[in-house]
Structure 1
Amino acid sequence: MHTSASLAPGTTIAIVGAGRLGRVLVRALRAAEIEVLGPIGRDGRIPDADIVLLCVPDAVIAEAAAVARSHTRFLGHVSGATALTDVDFSLHPLQTFTGAEGPEAFRGIGAAIAGRTPEARQIGEQLAVALGARPFAVDDAQRASYHAAASYASNFILTVLDAAEGLASAAGIPHDEARALLAPLVRRTVENWATNGAAPVLTGPIARGDEATVARQRVAAEELDLSDLFDALAAATRAIAARPAATTLITKTEEASA
């Protein structure tokens, strides 16, 4: 995406919402030498500012926007799922936060932006650039797919990893040790996926067509009430394994090891 000029000198930004993202945004914007007011609790008085950025739960964006509208020229939110109905622009950092991160937390990450007008969209873009993030456009019509992608890449991965931790525990490995042992496998898998996509790097019994091993794994999953999750993941994994890229790589690997 084309990046516009920096925010005008002296621009003031009020951050409404003192949750995880709001606190990290304040630190990062101040490190970028931008004048920040807040973070302001949802019940606090909103000061006048050039930009007001709502870092509040999706369910209260409309209410918070109604209160903030008279205090700013540009009103935005940080939700990835909520439309621009009540604001001028949106800026959604494609990252997970604990609230303890430092100002560098946004450097190099993606940031989805949208605006009701070109000028409002430019504000979102300028904020992303000031944070060190990479802005990319996501319009309201695309939000459901975009936000679902983020949930799959973050929330659902945690669901799968929690199941893996439980299965390792059932094998006699303490939970803390299980996470430490599985983490390098997870990191390498993600690195391989980031470089090549899923199909070319898929390994394991489903990729090899070893259904006997898959059946034994399912029995272990069933003992922890994970059979439904296992079945859904196995079906999706079979679909990936059936892609030409996966078949080609497996054939080449087998030929190289023959």
Structure 2
Amino acid sequence: MSTSPDASDISRTTVAVIGAGRLGGVLANALKRAGFTVAGPLGRDDSVPASDIALLCVPDAEIATAARNARPHATLLGHVSGATPLDDVDFSMHPLQTFTGAETPEVFLGIGAAIAGRTPHAAHAAEQLARALGARPFHVDDAHRAGYHAAASIASNLVLTVLDAAEQVARAAGIRSDQARELLAPLVTRTVENWRTHGASAALTGPIARGDEETVARQREAISEQAPALLALFDQLCDSARTIATPKGSA
């Protein structure tokens, strides 16, 4: 792979995408659109063609095996895992996005992509792939990889547990689940935008931000009666909110 990429370099670069899961198919299509010559997404039992790059889009536990199988056929070997170190590959490129498998190639435009390489050449290859997809590469070394991925999981996977809890409580209050999601989504969207712009402390509103513990107590009583399985989560979230709260007037 050339160390000074341009459109002609990309068109001569062959990439084998190994793994046909949620990310593999979307990534293969996006790389094709970017101008790479792409094989795949390949299944785990498919033969790997000779390629400049083999990109592993397999579960973390299968990376070592997939890497051994692909190594003889690729000049550079990379994975797209956020948490796995570079023990078995030359580089990593982790798209900082959630995927269902139904996305179009534009899903990569403007997102972050955590990259790392065992050599400067491998790191450059990861950066080139990310930029060709329209993503914004940033470096995360092996020592910080698990922590970075934990941050991503909190921001995506664990946020869903909070949203699901809100949906359950709304349902217990007589609001249908589909209606609750429709009604709460604008609130969630605005909250995330405020957090992005100002940070959690400045974005926090509501009774905890106002120091209105009487209202919090009424909320807690309702959850205790209508959705008791969520009470421990509610208490923990309220405690966490209190640690970031700053004095505010009416929210």
Aligned 1:224-243 pairs, distance under 5 A: 224=227, 225-241=229-245
Distance 2:6 2:196 in 1: 30
Task: State the Cα deviation string for residues 45-83 of structure 1 (Å, max 9, x = none).
Answer: 111100000000001100110111111110000000000
Letter in 2 for 1:228: A
Q: Contact 1:94/1:150 (CA < 8 Å) preserved in 2?
A: yes
Structure 2 partner of 1:136: 138
Distance 1:4 1:209 in 2: 57
TM-score (norm 1): 0.92
Structure 2 partner of 1:41: 43
Structure 1 partner of 2:80: 78
Q: Contact 1:77/1:91 (CA < 8 Å) preserved in 2?
A: yes
CA distance 1:163–1:99, shift in 2 (3 Å): same
What is the CA RMSD across the aligned residues, in angstroms?
Answer: 1.5
Q: Secondary structure at the match of 2:110?
A: coil
Distance 1:67 1:165 in 2: 45
Structure 2 partner of 1:11: 13
Deviation of 1:201 (Å): 1.6
Structure 2 partner of 1:185: 187
Q: Contact 1:4/1:122 (CA < 8 Å) preserved in 2?
A: no
Distance 1:112 1:90 in 2: 8
Task: State the Cα deviation string for residues 65-112 of structure 1 (Å, max 9, x = none).
Answer: 011111111000000000000000000000001111111110000000
Aligned 1:83-162 pairs, distance under 5 A: 83-162=85-164
Deviation of 1:220 (Å): 2.6
TM superposition outliers: structure 1 runs of 4+ over 3 Å: 3-7
Q: Secondary structure at the match of 2:94?
A: strand
Letter in 2 for 1:14: A
Distance 1:87 1:197 in 2: 36
Deviation of 1:34 (Å): 0.9
Q: Secondary structure at the match of 1:91?
A: strand
Letter in 1 for 2:241: T
Is there any run of 5+ residues in structure 1 with no aligned partner, and where? none
TM-score (norm 2): 0.94
Structure 2 partner of 1:63: 65
Distance 1:4 1:150 in 2: 31
Is there any run of 5+ residues in structure 2 with no aligned partner, and where? none
> What percentage of aligned pairs have identical amino acids?
65
Distance 1:199 1:6 in 2: 44
Deviation of 1:4 (Å): 6.5
Structure 2 partner of 1:166: 168
Structure 1 partner of 2:208: 206
Q: Secondary structure at the match of 2:46?
A: coil
**How many residues matched?**
245
Q: Secondary structure at the match of 1:226?
A: helix
CA distance 1:4–1:132, shift in 2 (3 Å): farther
